[in-house]
Chain A
């Protein structure tokens, strides 16, 4: 039910309260499956900045990995650009996260503890470590000093970059929101794929792909993202999956798949010299990855507010269990 903090005076309020009203008497004597059609769960308090962070974080993590790979292959220019992509993305991430806190001034409290039970806690430490290493790497690169340290830093960033790209999926999965929790097995792969696609895409846009590494990463990532996403939707309980089919979410989701697919196609079909198409393809992959995160994020709000998404699967479990007991 909607509650407004301001004091609304009856006379000023217009006819019916926000929630659709239905007299109890209208309900049949057989028990209803909800309480006045109200949600059971609370909608997530997170704003879209979080979804954007998921994207940016993924971009940062995968870029760092890509940068390390490029470095090992001696692609210094590609490595540099990817490193800076990662650094900038990481830099953007912090404010995106802090902006979403109820008490931004207390963001440091995140570092009070380390809780393996809390993906957000783990993620905070990953992000911190990642930020530190990628920062060192970038500085060394900037002043062209301490090559060993840089290599080490690049390696560290790459190592932390991988979980940085996927822990965000664990963060969503580790909630009571059905459409997120039920996707705990697939979402990390969706996010991993998206991260790779975005890192590759970014590299392609920056035109640092002289040896096809970025192209392969981008295409591979997009493929993983698209396949994992299909699996995710398929495996969901149909009642839970409804959250993905409400118009607002569906539009985002469809847009995500189209752009990823289009981007992939474009890159596959066009040769390396066709700069414009490559930029377009890379951009489409980035867009796809971003839209996917937004779609999943929005689906969570819808799913939390739908009492049936919570009740139906649980009721099924209970009934099944009682059937077992009854030995039927």
Chain B
């Protein structure tokens, strides 16, 4: 679901095809009939943005038919845990959970906590957007649990306030009929899918869920994924071979860039970025951010080792290990916030390192206008992308909104080295770190970003060497002494990876994060990667051929953490440590050897007996019981219900997209109340649901990729052999819509939203069909988003149409579902385009952002 694997991950899809050929059921739930659907054993069509309704229906089916893997659920999840009496469900409050504050438009999540747990609300509520995000999902925020105060549970699952019962009540209304009414699928299809999942789960079988940005790019992105987590936990599919939830990510090292983040709100290894209010000093920070129990209990060791890696000798016990060298965040400083800051003139300079927001970001026009407000811009890429040339041939030059002469932005374009022209590591979608060796030297001025950052750093340090200004200390004290070689003085990537992996007092590389200390004696750039350079060897460069090892291929590359290929794999054995089934044995307790063993590295303390009970006062990993596989959670259990860490809901519930042609059939609340909005002139919102004026945008639109191109096209529109395969922007519509709007196959159509209007060739196809939603027919418009104004093949970019409205937890835009209008013919040119969009529809739209 939310993934078009055959088209966007074809080589990974070989394993799905193989499973199909071995008799596996492959079910594709997607708004469109794609190349994936064509390969699946069944395809269910749902309306974009209604995944939670569908998954909620599956959850209800599992619970009502009691087909959950009860033994697994009781032992390994928080189903039995009692939730605070103050908690009120969205079912009781018509779409709102307890703790809603209309003034700030945020939740106080204290009422979502476990009963009896000392409530320490995460910084999330203290200051919206701060200190949450990826870290939250990893239980980084203590839910006040500690070994002496285990959560109250009712193993019989009868307590009305236990998670299991709350779950049942919450999803009671997600009947097949209701799901059909919301999503547009047939009731029997929901039941069929749910039955297929139950049939293929349990002791002897496992089912896997695959998703991609079709789930994440929504105002309820995190909750989409949470829904799958609930299903997989209820069916006992987590931590077991053939099970799990696979996030198919779209870029070579997009996983790596969150692990070793270039993200404003986290430090390497998902350690939160310190917040001005919550984190005065190291002590406060640890107190606020670290959990007392579980893997996050040692956050102090991880952080201090990181500070040592960055500031070495300058990081001492006396100065909190230079904790104050870290700048503080005070809110949302994400890429979209940055674009707004450019428009406001507060963002002066910007680096684009292989990114093309002028085509790839929602409301692309806003980003192009924003870049034109900068003092200076550095673009590093292999070709001259739209974000580098907006000032001379951007669409706004043509519409007259911008004049080259008036744009004050100073632009530096630096050619980048290609993937074979530099050595380094990518982290793939399965957390597998694979090393690339350098094949050839880059030509001309082409350089790696490693080269650029290193030499830019040197230049800055040289210029400020004499400075006494305290604000320059972090830069001058920075450890920046990487060995260089080659004709261009390239810094050694191995040296950097070694620093990431870390070393001990003796200067020898560490073999695991468990060796990290909070006393400043260890150094580690990213705790979860600790061990990737174990034994002073680049473990990521291991290339033992697959035919020389088991199918787990533990000696090909290195997977974080600790080269574990399946996370929480202790769950592949029952509470006593015996495999749930012989067919599905993976990691188990070897009674004779008194240790965990199996096909994979155990994701568990290897010598912890299954019957281990944490002694009083135990903390961190010692506080994880022998039968609790989910070691990063403070209670070691899989969370069906999330007591803390999320800003928008403890349980996934259906909300309509921010812009939808239909109202929410479940609640008076249409869209997710906690969603993050950024209404402004360049980001006009449309009326939604049955609000006045919403009729002007009657169709659902969604964006997607094609196999033949790559994201915003920077790596495919200039490649002849790819460009010729999909040479032009087109939109996919069903015959019904074509008839309704007079669209002719092969002709042009103009797609309109409050942001912009784009033109595309019309592809009339049965692969896109209308959906019966609440008694009315909702047509869909499908839009690939690969094209821009440059390259061998050009075209309007679909992202011009989409609003900037974000998931509050992770600030990811809703790019997969919005409302639009479509009409035959090409769009107006020049100034006429803006006038056309502004005056659309004839009756003026309500004031910006009002809902």
Interface, chain A (partner B; CB < 8 A) = 7, 9-11, 15-17, 21-26
How far does the alpha carbon of A7 sit from the alpha carbon of B717 in the complex, in Å? 13
User: B334 CB to closest chain A CB, in angstroms?
Assistant: 34
A contact residues around B761 at 8 Å (CB) = 10
Contact A11 B745 (CB under 8 A): no
How far does the alpha carbon of A15 sit from the alpha carbon of B761 in the complex, in Å? 9
Nearest first, the 5 closest Cβ-Cβ pairs linking A and B are A21-B746, A23-B764, A25-B766, A23-B745, A16-B746
Contact A10 B794 (CB under 8 A): yes
Task: Kindly report which residue of chain B lies nearest to residue A7, judged by CB atoms.
Answer: B792
Contact A25 B764 (CB under 8 A): yes
A10-B794, A10-B795, A23-B735 known; A15-B765 Cβ under 8 A: no
Contact B746 A17 (CB under 8 A): yes
Task: Kindly report which residue of chain A lies nearest to residue B768, judged by CB atoms.
Answer: A25
Contact A10 B729 (CB under 8 A): yes
- Asked whether B462 is an interface residue with its Cβ less than 8 Å from the other chain, the reply is no
Contact A15 B746 (CB under 8 A): yes
Contact A21 B745 (CB under 8 A): yes
What is the interface of chain A mostly: helix, strand, loop, or mixed?
loop
* Residues 708-738 of chain B, each 1 if its beta carbon lies under 8 Å from chain A, else 0: 0000000000000000000111000011000
User: B743 CB to closest chain A CB, in angstroms?
Assistant: 10
User: A167 CB to closest chain B CB, in angstroms?
Assistant: 41
How far does the alpha carbon of A24 sit from the alpha carbon of B764 in the complex, in Å? 8
Contact A9 B794 (CB under 8 A): yes
Instruction: Pull 14 A–B residue pairs with CB atoms less than 8 Å apart, ordered by A.
Output: A10-B727, A10-B729, A10-B793, A10-B794, A11-B794, A16-B746, A16-B747, A21-B745, A22-B745, A23-B735, A23-B763, A23-B764, A25-B764, A25-B766
How far does the alpha carbon of A71 sit from the alpha carbon of B440 in the complex, in Å? 77
A contact residues around B792 at 8 Å (CB) = 7
Partner of B735 from A7, A16, A25 at Cβ < 8 Å: A25
Contact B747 A10 (CB under 8 A): no
B contact residues around A21 at 8 Å (CB) = 745-746
- Asked whether B596 is an interface residue with its Cβ less than 8 Å from the other chain, the reply is no
Q: Restricting to B744-801, which residues have a CB under 8 Å from any CB of A?
A: 745-748, 761, 763-766, 792-795
A23-B735, A23-B763, A25-B765 known; A10-B728 Cβ under 8 A: yes
User: B804 CB to closest chain A CB, in angstroms?
Assistant: 27
Contact A15 B763 (CB under 8 A): no
How far does the alpha carbon of A21 sit from the alpha carbon of B745 in the complex, in Å? 7
Task: Name, among A11, A22, A26, the residue most crowded by chain B CB atoms within 10 Å (CB to CB).
Answer: A11
How far does the alpha carbon of A306 sit from the alpha carbon of B727 in the complex, in Å? 27
A contact residues around B794 at 8 Å (CB) = 9-11
B contact residues around A7 at 8 Å (CB) = 792
Interface, chain B (partner A; CB < 8 A) = 727-729, 734-735, 745-748, 761, 763-766, 792-795
A contact residues around B763 at 8 Å (CB) = 23
Partner of A23 from B729, B748, B765 at Cβ < 8 Å: B765
Task: Kindly report which residue of chain B lies nearest to residue A3, judged by CB atoms.
Answer: B724
User: A28 CB to closest chain B CB, in angstroms?
Assistant: 12
Task: Kindly report which residue of chain A lies nearest to residue B765, judged by CB atoms.
Answer: A25
Contact B748 A15 (CB under 8 A): yes
How far does the alpha carbon of A11 sit from the alpha carbon of B734 in the complex, in Å? 24
User: A264 CB to closest chain B CB, in angstroms?
Assistant: 51
A contact residues around B793 at 8 Å (CB) = 10
B contact residues around A16 at 8 Å (CB) = 746-747
How far does the alpha carbon of A22 sit from the alpha carbon of B745 in the complex, in Å? 7
User: A289 CB to closest chain B CB, in angstroms?
Assistant: 45
B contact residues around A24 at 8 Å (CB) = 765-766
Task: Kindly report which residue of chain A lies nearest to residue B724, judged by CB atoms.
Answer: A3
How far does the alpha carbon of A160 sit from the alpha carbon of B747 in the complex, in Å? 58
How far does the alpha carbon of A17 sit from the alpha carbon of B727 in the complex, in Å? 12
B contact residues around A26 at 8 Å (CB) = 735, 745, 764
Task: Kindly report which residue of chain B lies nearest to residue A9, judged by CB atoms.
Answer: B794
How far does the alpha carbon of A15 sit from the alpha carbon of B746 in the complex, in Å? 7
User: A14 CB to closest chain B CB, in angstroms?
Assistant: 10
How far does the alpha carbon of A9 sit from the alpha carbon of B787 in the complex, in Å? 12
A contact residues around B729 at 8 Å (CB) = 10
A contact residues around B746 at 8 Å (CB) = 15-17, 21
User: A168 CB to closest chain B CB, in angstroms?
Assistant: 39
A contact residues around B735 at 8 Å (CB) = 23, 25-26
Task: Kindly report which residue of chain A lies nearest to residue B728, judged by CB atoms.
Answer: A10
User: A156 CB to closest chain B CB, in angstroms?
Assistant: 54
Known: A10-B793, A15-B748, A25-B766. 12 other contacts (CB 8 A): A10-B727, A10-B761, A10-B795, A15-B747, A16-B746, A21-B745, A22-B745, A23-B763, A24-B765, A25-B734, A25-B765, A26-B764
How far does the alpha carbon of A24 sit from the alpha carbon of B745 in the complex, in Å? 10
How far does the alpha carbon of A24 sit from the alpha carbon of B795 in the complex, in Å? 24
How far does the alpha carbon of A164 sit from the alpha carbon of B765 in the complex, in Å? 55
B contact residues around A23 at 8 Å (CB) = 735, 745, 763-765
B contact residues around A10 at 8 Å (CB) = 727-729, 761, 793-795
Task: Name, among A10, A16, A26, the residue most crowded by chain B CB atoms within 10 Å (CB to CB).
Answer: A10
A contact residues around B728 at 8 Å (CB) = 10
Task: Kindly report which residue of chain A lies nearest to residue B825, judged by CB atoms.
Answer: A15
B contact residues around A17 at 8 Å (CB) = 746
How far does the alpha carbon of A16 sit from the alpha carbon of B745 in the complex, in Å? 9
B contact residues around A22 at 8 Å (CB) = 745
How far does the alpha carbon of A10 sit from the alpha carbon of B761 in the complex, in Å? 9
User: A26 CB to closest chain B CB, in angstroms?
Assistant: 8
User: A93 CB to closest chain B CB, in angstroms?
Assistant: 40
How far does the alpha carbon of A23 sit from the alpha carbon of B763 in the complex, in Å? 7
User: B793 CB to closest chain A CB, in angstroms?
Assistant: 8
User: B730 CB to closest chain A CB, in angstroms?
Assistant: 10
A contact residues around B764 at 8 Å (CB) = 23, 25-26
B contact residues around A15 at 8 Å (CB) = 746-748
User: A42 CB to closest chain B CB, in angstroms?
Assistant: 19
User: B587 CB to closest chain A CB, in angstroms?
Assistant: 49
How far does the alpha carbon of A10 sit from the alpha carbon of B791 in the complex, in Å? 12
A contact residues around B766 at 8 Å (CB) = 24-25
How far does the alpha carbon of A25 sit from the alpha carbon of B735 in the complex, in Å? 8
A contact residues around B795 at 8 Å (CB) = 10
Task: Name, among A16, A17, A22, the residue most crowded by chain B CB atoms within 10 Å (CB to CB).
Answer: A16
How far does the alpha carbon of A24 sit from the alpha carbon of B763 in the complex, in Å? 10
How far does the alpha carbon of A24 sit from the alpha carbon of B768 in the complex, in Å? 12
How far does the alpha carbon of A11 sit from the alpha carbon of B727 in the complex, in Å? 12
A contact residues around B747 at 8 Å (CB) = 15-16
A contact residues around B727 at 8 Å (CB) = 10
User: B822 CB to closest chain A CB, in angstroms?
Assistant: 16
B contact residues around A11 at 8 Å (CB) = 794
User: B741 CB to closest chain A CB, in angstroms?
Assistant: 15
How far does the alpha carbon of A14 sit from the alpha carbon of B368 in the complex, in Å? 28
User: A9 CB to closest chain B CB, in angstroms?
Assistant: 6
Task: Kindly report which residue of chain B lies nearest to residue A13, judged by CB atoms.
Answer: B728
Task: Kindly report which residue of chain B lies nearest to residue A20, judged by CB atoms.
Answer: B746
A contact residues around B748 at 8 Å (CB) = 15
How far does the alpha carbon of A10 sit from the alpha carbon of B729 in the complex, in Å? 9
User: B796 CB to closest chain A CB, in angstroms?
Assistant: 9
User: A16 CB to closest chain B CB, in angstroms?
Assistant: 4
Task: Kindly report which residue of chain A lies nearest to residue B738, judged by CB atoms.
Answer: A23
Task: Kindly report which residue of chain A lies nearest to residue B729, judged by CB atoms.
Answer: A10
Task: Kindly report which residue of chain B lies nearest to residue A8, judged by CB atoms.
Answer: B727
Task: Kindly report which residue of chain A lies nearest to residue B720, judged by CB atoms.
Answer: A7
How far does the alpha carbon of A21 sit from the alpha carbon of B727 in the complex, in Å? 16
Task: Kindly report which residue of chain A lies nearest to residue B746, judged by CB atoms.
Answer: A21
How far does the alpha carbon of A15 sit from the alpha carbon of B824 in the complex, in Å? 12
User: B150 CB to closest chain A CB, in angstroms?
Assistant: 60
How far does the alpha carbon of A159 sit from the alpha carbon of B540 in the complex, in Å? 79
How far does the alpha carbon of A11 sit from the alpha carbon of B746 in the complex, in Å? 14
User: B181 CB to closest chain A CB, in angstroms?
Assistant: 27
Task: Kindly report which residue of chain A lies nearest to residue B761, judged by CB atoms.
Answer: A10
How far does the alpha carbon of A21 sit from the alpha carbon of B764 in the complex, in Å? 10
How far does the alpha carbon of A10 sit from the alpha carbon of B795 in the complex, in Å? 7
How far does the alpha carbon of A9 sit from the alpha carbon of B794 in the complex, in Å? 7
User: B637 CB to closest chain A CB, in angstroms?
Assistant: 50
User: B41 CB to closest chain A CB, in angstroms?
Assistant: 20
